[in-house]
Structure 1
């Protein structure tokens, strides 16, 4: 597989992962963000996200950029090897990354409330990484045909 195609597919998989992380994971954590009428607010802007893991916008932007770059490189490895194994590699790499992302916070000395909040979303986190791997595999399969 062409390295440009592999990196492109990895980038799309990484964007998928980050999009799902920003849109689906807050739902699994039951964010308590409310407006003054006690109705759920729209999570479209950064200021409306009540995530105690995010300290400021600058840190958030740097973290998001580093996640996109590292996940792009990680998911691009799906493109190397036999094309008939794209989906298997996407599934296994996504599962491995998802389980690591779900279990790693317990080991890095986070605050107790951060660990408890992350435990609520372990299955969602693993599923999001699997989705990123499978999107990468699907795109690689399409690019292989061209």
Structure 2
């Protein structure tokens, strides 16, 4: 795969949960900042801007771009302060979709990676791909049966 020009990462997972419970999770800025298990965050909000405080990874800033309950949420990552966050200004979008099997499909796309310099690009794409796979599994474990 040619990652030099890859701009986006996508991941999808089916979750046995209600669309409302999936929406409740994905509409929270920074819910995906964790060590592979959903944990509560202290969140400071000022209009569309939020600072998410995670006990392990530190402080991250997000702009809420769009919330269309209960199906679509988009946040712009503005970077981290305490942890060396190499991914400022990416757009993180979530779609909550019904499936024919009765499950809820959660889809994420993070874009904006084409702007990274060549030295960082492949590393960031690889790290964030692994990260989204882990976060989708964490969401599935957390929400199944809700």
What's the TM-score once normalised by structure 2's chain length? 0.38
Which protein is richer in helix relative to its size?
1
Which protein is richer in strand relative to its size?
2
Larger Rg: 1
What's the TM-score once normalised by structure 1's chain length? 0.38
Larger relative contact order (C-alpha < 8 A, sep ≥ 6)? 1
